Amino acid sequence: MNSGVKTISIGMLGCGVVGSQVARLLQDDQQELSERSGAHLVLSKVGVRKAGARPGVDASLITTDLASIVNDPAINIVIEVMGGIEPARTLILEAIKNKKSVITANKALLATHGHELFNAADAAKVDLYYEAAVAGAIPIIRSMRESLAGDQITRVMGIVNGTTNYILTKMHEEGRAFADVLKEAQALGYAESDPTADIEGYDAAAKAALLASLAFHSTVTIDEVYTEGISNISSEDVAAAKSMNSVIKLLAIAELTVKDEISVRVHPVILPQSHPLATVRNAFNAVYVESESAGQLMFYGRGAGGAPTASAILGDLVAVTRHAAYATVGYGESDYADLDIAPIGAVKSQFFVRLHVADKSGVLAAIASTFSSENVSIQTVRQAGLGKDAELIVVTHAASEDALDACVESLRKLEIVRNVESVIRVEGAPA
Ligand code: HSE
C-alpha cells in the first residue's frame, strides 16, 4: 500500500460477543483489510456501557462516553454492535448527522426505525450497511441488494433463527419434546436464558421485515409481520410430519401475492424433505430466494456467533471504507415500490390439520362436509387408531387463512371432534 493513502478511523459502539471479534479481526488482519479497503484502517475508540477491560482490546481505546464516539470529528465510520433500540437509534442518527457512515448488526432497530435511519443516511450522503443484521455470516443483504438488483424477486423463504432450527432439528432427529431440547439449547448457549424472542419468532420477524423491504423495494416494519413461534409444536406434530417425509421448520416468508401486495410472515411450516431448506440442520441458517430470471437461489451458513457475524461486519467495513476513501456512497435503501402488506386472512397456503375424533361411522363424512362447507378442498386424509378414538391428519389444497380458520371453528363445534390438536401451514409441496 503506498504511503499517500488515507487513514480511516473507526469507532465501535458495543463490545460483546460480536464486537470483541470485530476488534480482534481488525487487529489481526489489519494489513490485509487495509489493502482491500484502499485506506489504513484504525480502530480508535470502543464505546461500552459498563466500564472495564475487554479481552483483546487495548484499554486505552475503551470509553463509556458513547456520544464522544459519534461526535468525534476524527472518526470516519461507526460500527454499532450494542443492540437494542435506544440509545443505539439516537447515536446512529447523530453519527449520520456528523457525516459518518454506519455499519450495524441491529435488526430490531432497523426493523422498527429503518425508514428514519435510511432516509437520514441518504440525506447525509453516507452509507448505512447492515449485512450482519440478517442471518449472520450469510451474504444475503448484498446479494439481494446488488447481485439481484437487475431481477424481480418474487419470494424469499428463510431459516433465519438458529435457536429454533436447532430445537426443531433435535425434535425431528431424536424424537424429543420441545421443552427438553430448549433446556439443552440453553445449557449449550444457543438459546438465551429468556428465549422468548427466538422461540416466539420475534427475532425472525425482524429479519423477515428487512428481507421483505429489500426484496420488494418497500418499507416493511416488524409490527407488520404476522408472527407465530414454535412453542406449540409437539412431538406428535413432528412425528406426523416425519411420516409424511417432511420436516417442520420455522420460516420467515416474504412473497408477492397475486394482487401485488407483500405477504410477510413468520410461522412453522411442514416442508417436504426434498426441499433445499429441509436439509438445513441444527443452528445453521439459510435463505432461499426465488426470482423471475435467476430462478431459485439458496444461501447457507452460520447465522449467529461472534466470528461469523464479525465476518459480515468486516465485509461491510471494507466496502464502506472504499466509499469513504473515494468520497462516494454505495447502494442505499430503495422503497420506491411502496407495496401494501396483504392481510394474513387473505394469504393462501396448504394446511395440515391434526385432530382427534370419535372412531365411528359417519365421522369422516362429517369432517369432509365441514371442510367443503367452507370451500376448503382436502388433498389427503390419514387415519390412525387411538383406542376408542382416532387421529385424523387432513392436508388441504391451498386455502385462505380466513377459510381455514372458519373450518377449524366449525370442526371444534362438532360433537364427534374431541380436539383440534394442531394446524400447521404446508409449504413447498405440490398443491
Ligand atoms: N438468536 C438468534 C438465533 C441469533 O438464534 O439465530 C441472533 O439473531
pLDDT in tens, the chain (431 residues): 555 678 999 999 999 999 999 999 999 999 999 999 999 999 999 999 998 888 889 999 999 999 999 999 999 999 999 999 999 999 999 999 999 999 999 999 999 999 999 999 999 999 999 999 999 999 999 999 999 999 999 999 999 999 999 999 999 999 999 999 999 989 988 778 889 999 999 999 999 999 999 999 999 999 999 999 999 999 999 999 999 999 999 999 999 999 999 999 999 999 999 999 999 999 999 999 999 999 999 999 999 999 999 999 999 999 999 998 888 999 888 999 999 999 999 999 999 999 999 999 999 999 999 999 999 999 999 998 888 899 999 999 999 999 999 999 999 999 999 999 999 999 987 65
pLDDT of residue 272: 97
Distance CA(111)–CA(337), nearest Å, equals: 18
Half-sphere exposure of residue 107, counting CA atoms within 13 Å on the CB side?
26
The residues assigned a catalytic role are 207
What distance in angstroms lies between residue 341's CA and the mean position of ligand 1's atoms? 25
Closest residue (by CA) to atom 7 of ligand 1? 304
Atom of ligand 1 nearest to the CA of 203: 8
pLDDT of residue 190: 78
Instruction: Give the mutation target among 141, 159, 161, 168 for probing the ligand 1 site: most ligand atoms within 8 A of CB.
Output: 161
Cis link prior to 139 (omega < 30° from 0)? no
Atom of ligand 1 nearest to the CA of 304: 4
DSSP state of 189: T
Atom of ligand 1 nearest to the CA of 162: 6
pLDDT of residue 1: 55
Distance CA(42)–CA(25), nearest Å, equals: 12
pTM for the full predicted model:
0.95
Distance CA(106)–CA(112), nearest Å, equals: 10
Atom of ligand 1 nearest to the CA of 163: 5
Q: How would you label 216-242 residue by residue, b for 16+ Cβ within 10 Å and e otherwise?
A: bebbbbbebbbbbbbbebeeebbebbb
Helix (H, G, I), strand (E, B) or coil at 166: helix
Closest residue (by CA) to atom 4 of ligand 1? 304
What distance in angstroms lies between residue 130's CA and the mean position of ligand 1's atoms? 15
Cell numbers of 17, please? Answer: 460477543
Burial (CB < 10 A; 0-12, 13-18, 19+), residue 167, is: buried
Residues 6+ apart with CB under 8 A from 87: 66
Of 122, 124, 119, nearest in space to 100 by CA: 124
What distance in angstroms lies between residue 81's CA and the mean position of ligand 1's atoms? 14
Phi then psi dihedrals of residue 327, to 5 deg: 50, 50
Atom of ligand 1 nearest to the CA of 191: 5
Distance CA(398)–CA(431), nearest Å, equals: 7
Instruction: Give the mutation target among 130, 198, 280 for probing the ligand 1 site: most ligand atoms within 8 A of CB.
Output: 198
What distance in angstroms lies between residue 192's CA and the mean position of ligand 1's atoms? 9
Distance CA(153)–CA(371), nearest Å, equals: 34
Inter-residue contact 357 to 393 (CB < 8 Å): no
Distance CA(304)–CA(190), nearest Å, equals: 9
Instruction: Give the mutation target among 186, 203, 210, 282 for probing the ligand 1 site: most ligand atoms within 8 A of CB.
Output: 203
Burial (CB < 10 A; 0-12, 13-18, 19+), residue 38, is: middle
Distance CA(392)–CA(364), nearest Å, equals: 9
Domains detected in the chain: 7-136+306-325 (3.40.50.720), 140-302 (3.30.360.10), 344-426 (3.30.70.260)
Q: How would you label 79-90 residue by residue, b for 16+ Cβ within 10 Å and e otherwise?
A: bbbbbeeebbbe
Helix (H, G, I), strand (E, B) or coil at 355: strand
Parallel, antiparallel or unpaired: strands 348-358 and 399-400 = antiparallel
For residue 425, the tally of other CB atoms under 10 A from its CB is 21
What distance in angstroms lies between residue 373's CA and the mean position of ligand 1's atoms? 42
What distance in angstroms lies between residue 134's CA and the mean position of ligand 1's atoms? 9
pLDDT of residue 157: 98
pLDDT of residue 105: 96
- Residues with beta carbon inside 6 Å of ligand 1? 161-163, 198, 203, 303-304
